[in-house]
Amino acid sequence: MRNNNSITGRIDWILVILLISLVLMGMATLYSAAFNQNYPNIFDISQLYGKQLIWIGISLFFGFIVYLIDSDIYKKFAIPIYGVILFLLVIVLFMPAVNGARAWLGIGSLGIQPAEFAKIAAALVLAKFISESNLKVQNNRVVLLAFSIILIPMILILLQPDAGTFVVFTSFLFVLYREGITFDPIILNITNSFPGVKFKQTWVGTHFIPISLIIIVLAIFTILLSRLAVSFVFLPSFEISGFVFITVVLSVIGFIGFFVVQQYSSKRDRSNLTSAIILGYILSLTITFTVHFGFSSLASHQKERIEFFLGMREDPDGEDYNRNRAMAAVGSGGINGKGYKNASVSSVRANHVPESETDFIFCPFAEEWGFLGSLILISIYTAVLIRIVFIAERQRSVFNRVYAYCVVMIIFYHVAINIGMNIGFAPVIGIPLPFFSYGGSSILSFTIMMFILLKLDSQRMDVLR
Amino acid sequence: MNTESRKYVIIVFIFLVGISYVIRLFYMQILDESWMLRAQEIAEKRKEITPNRGAIFDRNNKQIVSNKVYYNLMFVEDKLHNFDANAFAKMLGWTKEQVLARFEEIKKGEGTYYNRHSKKRTSNYLKSRAYPFLKELTLDEILKIAPFLDKFPGFYEEATSMRSYPFANGANILGYLSEVTGEEIKKDRFYKPANNIGRTGLERYYEKELRGRKGIKYVVASAMNNTIQPYANGKYDTVSKPGANLILGIDISLQAYCEKLMQNKKGCIVSIEPSSGEILSFVSAPSFDPNLLIGKRNISQNYPKLNKDPNLPLYPRPLASEYPPGSIFKLVQGLVGMQEGVITENTGFPCNKSMVGCHGHAMATDIPKAVQYSCNPYFYYVMKKIIQQGKKKNTFADAEIGLAKWVKYMNSFGLGIKLQTDITGIKKGLIPGPAFYDKWYGHHNWQFNSIQSISIGQGEVKLTPLQMANIAVIIANKGWFYTPHFVKSISGKGPLERLKIKNYTMVESKYFPAVIEGMRRVVNEPGGTANSAKLTDIIIAGKTGTVQNPHGKDHSVFIAFAPLDNPKIAIAVFIENSGFGGTWAAPTASLVIEKYLTGKITNESKEKRIIDAKLSNIEIERE
């Protein structure tokens, strides 16, 4: 008999300890950033830190209840939960707007954001769907259904509008990729409709994640280089445009790849690899050309938006107010930081960095603890993510694994975008830093999400019974 | 299809993002300084606490410079609500246009700055910041406005301090304050726009002591520019230190009395306590009321007038006017002659009027008599013996050696060099040396006969009245002096170190009594040139001078010290264009001495004569 009489018996303590340390660091940072000398008590519920403690308490309470529920219920009730959340997402659109977004479902002063919980619901349904589908035989139906599960809440969230959570939903694409969902059926339908084309499979549909990453990186480089003229140290007077430069670099890589393949690959792989390289080369060039000429044909205000996003344009007191000040706060931290409670730029009362208690909570942390603190925080988040990947891979049920991967990618998106906003790597779209930012919905939804994962993980052996 | 290996894509992706973020943070937080500067620009504000400027007291602890509270009428544009410009103008007795124009003037006055991030030029004027609408209002002026200010929210009064001079005397000693220039702000980070700096006199010389040390409070400011909390719990704050109080050697009542004596005259009185070198009074006539140059309003109104006045009231004559000393110079020559051994105190010379004019007197058979009669030919002989000592056969070369030596003697008396007195604007006078005459006549082309007039303090020789007074000090002390100075104590710690050093002249003290005896006779014996300075109870030793003035009436000079056996005061009086030294300068000096030593005047008719005298046609203000 497995250790079922002990609730804590098989809980993943490594993950729990990492999460508790995040919550403590977040609480300490909030207490410092939002510190009010007149109300120094951390339990003072008139202050942000007191409220946050209440939310942590509520979250732990719900988390505990979640942990008591048998894990089977999630698979059983995934679709009803999803339905309720979709319903709430519709209801919320009829609520009065707060800060220009209809995101809040108010119960007195305690408002919650259904969008935060939609992520959990979508993860559960996606897990259920994939675990019950036969992915060996993929057809349009499976792909489209999987896609719709993600797309419906996304559209509702975009209507609020909540760009941040909308973007977070694209994290599920990574999960689909991990589970082997391929867009080939759809793509083949299109390509094979051309006369004379008869593909059996495309790389694009199957490896859509690496390919889209390559596309994004190429596109960003193309735009970044579009304005520049590249000159060489060894040829000082010789200048070429950035666009020509990137084309030349791609061609050189293509040639080298081609000759390496011809020279060293086994006969069996040669033709495949050769065609892959030729295809990749043509594809890259196409992307570069498209982005380059597409970008230059954009209207100037659209170009500006993109240039802001890529940091090619500055307007510290206007468009870029938040990010510029956030970066100043982070950058002024130095190696050791300014010391606890000494954040001069990003304390909430100073109000130099708006939202420094929620979306920009990384600012006061990085300002007070400097590079070493930032390094530790990023390490902890990375450790959390890797630990959950590890947990995901040890699951015996597909449902559990898919759900775990959903959690990995949701948290990864939140962390990457949130910290990215603070260091100029991501556009300013308001999403909280998990377990760190002030905010009831955020802490509650992430806690529940985690407890479901911990529960699933603790009962992973039950599948054998 | 087995997709388990795809977990590596995800793991690698997570790691890549983590590493790139860490690299980025390393760059932002450690390598790139610009974010640090940007953060300082945004949040950390230095708040300066300007200490009170030190006060100034006279030798009897009477406060002669103090700080008086004035009021600025301040406003913060953001806090103006329903501002009624008409009513406001009416309250001030202005027109509405004047009020609006003043607002514009303030905005323009703040200038603009160039934002290199946004590449835009914006005004420094901030609506959230306080600016003075009216500056330097007196209590009476602000009392007319203050009761109505609650009708104009956003306006409020703010006290500032400015100098105040309870005695209207000593303007040339004290100097004045005025607003710092851009150059000065650049040079010294102590100053901020609208700060005051000592412009002349002691205010300038002791600027660093008087201004104190600014305290700096680092505060963290919010986006609205309101102070919110001390930065780092005040770890980097410095406490402000009030400016040092100065105690002067000046006796302000004596100063006032001297100024009164010098009314309607041009010239100087400098009196010094010989034992300490402390300057007791220091008059440059005509002078001005220091209260005329307080604050921007007064300065802009009065300074141009004073500056254009042909009588130069702003000019500190005792330091900066270089006059031929006349006969008082003979005292020094007698001393040098004895020290050099070319004469003794009993050496006599005939009054040979063929060399230089003299007045009728008995032959000077020794130094005291020569001094008493102020015999011109006598000191010609003395000077000739000093200059032409016969050390070289070539008289030109001989004169060169003699004059070079003589210059050293003069310098040891503080002549021809800048006295290190604690005030700016000191001139060194002129003691012509070999180089001077080489330039004038050519090398080895001059000897005593060419330069003889310097022996009686005429010709090329020039002294400042301060140097003349210092000669009296040296003789009173029999051969040494402390550098004459104004400040006897800086916040109770004594004068500057270098003013505590005794300077010895090259003449030994044993040679002085003969000269002093001569000076006693000048005042106290019949036939002396300064009998008009004689007092019944106090023995004054003095020497007159009458400086030939090619441009007009002779200048009247007198140096003296008293009492004879225990000198408490040494004095030089120089009255331009008034005639004989014995007629004007000597009685004036005696009044000062009597006033200082006894506090009263016995001979009131003498006092009245001096006060009422309108000597040296003070020029009426012209265009």
CB within 8 Å: A425 and B20: yes
Residue type, B203: E
For residue B120, give how far its alpha carbon lies from the nearest alpha carbon of chain A (Å). Answer: 10
- Which tokens is B406 given? 């003589």
Interface of B with A in 206-225 (CB under 8 A): 220-224
Give B15's contacts in chain A (Cβ within 8 Å).
382
Report chain B's mean pLDDT, rounded to a whole number.
86
CB within 8 Å: A330 and B26: no
Q: Domain residues of chain B, as ranges?
A: 69-77+86-109+129-162, 252-612
d(CA B329, CA B341): 19
CB of A330 less than 8 A from some CB of B: yes
Write the DSSP assignment of A65-116 as a string of letters.
Answer: HHHHS-THHHHHHHHHHHHHHHHHHHHHTTSPPBTTB---EEETTEEE-HHH
Across residues B37-45, what is the average pLDDT?
74
How many alpha carbons fall within 13 Å on the CB side of residue A319?
Answer: 15
Q: Which of A223-237, B112-126, B466-480, B533-547 has the lowest mean pLDDT?
A: B112-126
Query: What is the per-residue pLDDT for A261?
Result: 83
Residue type, A232: F
- Which tokens is B157 given? 């009064």
Does A107 map to a domain?
Answer: yes
Interface of A with B in 185-214 (CB under 8 A): 209-210, 213
CB of A179 less than 8 A from some CB of B: yes
For residue A375, give how far its alpha carbon lies from the nearest alpha carbon of chain B (Å). Answer: 6
In this structure, the answer to whether residues A43 and A173 fall within a common structural domain is yes
Give B30's contacts in chain A (Cβ within 8 Å).
334-335, 371
Q: Which of B74, B50, B95, B217 is nearest to B146 (CA)?
A: B74
Q: Which own/partner pairs from B10-15 qualify as long-range (CB within 8 Å, at least 24 positions apart)?
A: B10/A174, B10/A178, B10/A389, B10/A405, B10/A408, B10/A409, B11/A386, B11/A389, B13/A174, B13/A213, B14/A382, B14/A385, B14/A386, B14/A389, B14/A408, B14/A412, B15/A382
CB of B346 less than 8 A from some CB of A: no
Size of interface A-B (CB pairs under 8 A): 144
CB within 8 Å: B1 and A180: yes
Residue in B closest to A173 by C-alpha: B10
Decide which of A306, A329, A356 is a domain's last residue. Answer: A306
Q: Smallest Cβ distance to B25: which of A136, A350, A423?
A: A423
Interface of B with A in 225-244 (CB under 8 A): 228-229, 231-232
d(CA A17, CA A132): 33
- Reduced to 3 states, what is the DSSP secondary structure of residue B118? coil
CA A360 to chain centre: 16
In this structure, the answer to whether residues A53 and A174 fall within a common structural domain is yes
Give B25's contacts in chain A (Cβ within 8 Å).
330, 366, 371, 374-375, 378, 423
CB burial of residue B215 (10 Å; 0-12, 13-18, 19+): middle
- Which tokens is B477 given? 């002390």
* Strands annotated E in A371-424: none
B271 neighbors B258 (Cβ within 8 angstroms) = yes
* Residue B358 backbone dihedrals phi, psi, to 5 degrees: -150, 170
CB of B10 less than 8 A from some CB of A: yes
Task: Tell me whether the omega of the peptide bond preceding residue B286 falls within 30 degrees of 0, making it cis.
Answer: yes
Decide which of A306, A325, A359 is a domain's last residue. Answer: A306
Residue in A closest to B222 by C-alpha: A350
Q: Which of A160-169, A241-250, B80-89, B350-359 has the lowest mean pLDDT?
A: B350-359
Give B223's contacts in chain A (Cβ within 8 Å).
350-352
Across residues B511-536, what is the average pLDDT?
90
* B252-612: CATH architecture: 3-Layer(aba) Sandwich (3.40)
- Which tokens is B360 given? 């009728």
Q: Kindly indicate the confidence band of residue B620, based on its pLDDT and cuts at 50, 70 and 90.
A: very low
CA-CA-CA-CA torsion sign (B176, B177, B183, B184): positive
Q: Is the pLDDT of residue B499 over 60?
A: yes
Q: Is the pLDDT of residue B487 over 90?
A: yes
Residue B85 makes CB contacts below 8 A (sequence gap 6+) with B96, B99, B100
Query: What is the per-residue pLDDT for A65?
Result: 92
For residue A271, give how far its alpha carbon lies from the nearest alpha carbon of chain B (Å). Answer: 22
Query: What is the per-residue pLDDT for B482?
Result: 94
Q: Between A351 and B180, whose confidence is greater? A: B180
In this structure, the answer to whether residues A397 and A441 fall within a common structural domain is yes
Does A74 map to a domain?
Answer: yes
For residue B21, give how far its alpha carbon lies from the nearest alpha carbon of chain A (Å). Answer: 8
Q: Which of B4, B22, B35, B229 to mutate to test the interface with A (most CBs of A within 10 A)?
A: B35
Q: Smallest Cβ distance to B29: which of A330, A339, A342?
A: A330
Q: Smallest Cβ distance to A335: which of B30, B118, B228?
A: B30
Query: What is the per-residue pLDDT for A236?
Result: 66
Q: Which domain holds residue A21?
A: 13-181+389-464
* Strands annotated E in B355-501: 480-482, 487-490
Q: Kindly indicate the confidence band of residue B46, based on its pLDDT and cuts at 50, 70 and 90.
A: low
Q: Which of A46-60, A255-269, B455-469, B551-565 has the lowest mean pLDDT?
A: A255-269
Does A354 map to a domain?
Answer: no
Query: What is the per-residue pLDDT for A108?
Result: 52
Query: What is the per-residue pLDDT for B182?
Result: 73
Q: What is the pLDDT of residues B201-237, one digit of tens each?
A: 999 999 989 988 877 777 666 555 455 566 666 666 7
* Residue A198 backbone dihedrals phi, psi, to 5 degrees: -140, 80
Query: What is the per-residue pLDDT for B567?
Result: 94
Query: What is the per-residue pLDDT for B26?
Result: 93
Q: Is the pLDDT of residue B78 over 80?
A: no
The ipTM, to two decimals, is 0.88
Q: Between B516 and A208, whose confidence is greater? A: B516
Across residues B487-499, what is the average pLDDT?
89
Q: In three state form, how does the secondary structure of A137-197 look?
A: CCCHHHHHHHHHHHHHHHHHHHHCCCHHHHHHHCCHHHHHHHCCCCCHHHHHHHHCCCCCC
Measure the CA angle with vertex B23, ends B20 and B25; round to 5°.
110
Does A112 map to a domain?
Answer: yes
CB of B17 less than 8 A from some CB of A: yes
In this structure, the answer to whether residues A131 and A268 fall within a common structural domain is no
Q: Is the pLDDT of residue B110 over 80?
A: no
Query: What is the per-residue pLDDT for B619?
Result: 47
Does A341 map to a domain?
Answer: no
Give A419's contacts in chain B (Cβ within 8 Å).
21
d(CA B86, CA B481): 67
Give A409's contacts in chain B (Cβ within 8 Å).
10
Q: What is the pLDDT of residues B295-336, one digit of tens each?
A: 887 888 899 999 898 888 999 999 999 999 989 999 999 999
Query: What is the per-residue pLDDT for B621?
Result: 37
Q: Is the pLDDT of residue B623 over 60?
A: no
In this structure, the answer to whether residues A269 and A409 fall within a common structural domain is no
Name the stretches of chain A with pLDDT < 50.
Answer: 1-3, 5, 465
In this structure, the answer to whether residues A286 and A410 fall within a common structural domain is no
- Which tokens is A65 given? 């209840």
CB of A36 less than 8 A from some CB of B: no
CB burial of residue B180 (10 Å; 0-12, 13-18, 19+): buried
Decide which of A264, A279, A306 is a domain's last residue. Answer: A306
CB of B21 less than 8 A from some CB of A: yes
CB of B42 less than 8 A from some CB of A: yes
Q: Cα dist. A63→A55, A66, A452 in Å? A: 12, 5, 8
| Number of domains making up chain A | 2
Share of chain B above pLDDT 90, in %: 39
Residue B501 makes CB contacts below 8 A (sequence gap 6+) with B482, B483
Q: Smallest Cβ distance to B10: which of A332, A342, A389?
A: A389
In this structure, the answer to whether residues A240 and A279 fall within a common structural domain is yes
Give B13's contacts in chain A (Cβ within 8 Å).
174, 213
Query: What is the per-residue pLDDT for B616?
Result: 62
* Residue B157 backbone dihedrals phi, psi, to 5 degrees: -100, 150
CA-CA-CA-CA torsion sign (A219, A225, A226, A231): negative
d(CA B192, CA B200): 19
Residue in A closest to B36 by C-alpha: A332
In this structure, the answer to whether residues A31 and A119 fall within a common structural domain is yes
CA-CA-CA-CA torsion sign (A161, A163, A165, A170): positive
CB of B31 less than 8 A from some CB of A: no
Residue in A closest to B20 by C-alpha: A425
Q: Which of A332, A362, A380 to mutate to test the interface with B (most CBs of B within 10 A)?
A: A332
Across residues B588-603, what is the average pLDDT?
92
Q: What is the pLDDT of residues B240-271, one digit of tens each?
A: 788 899 999 999 999 999 999 998 899 999 99
For residue A408, give how far its alpha carbon lies from the nearest alpha carbon of chain B (Å). Answer: 9
CB within 8 Å: B30 and A371: yes
In this structure, the answer to whether residues A159 and A213 fall within a common structural domain is no
Q: Is the pLDDT of residue B542 over 90?
A: yes
Q: Which of B574, B70, B519 is nearest to B282 (CA)?
A: B574
Q: Cα dist. B105→B109, B131, B180 in Å? A: 6, 11, 20
CB within 8 Å: A331 and B28: yes
Number of neighbours of residue B204 by Cβ within 10 angstroms: 18
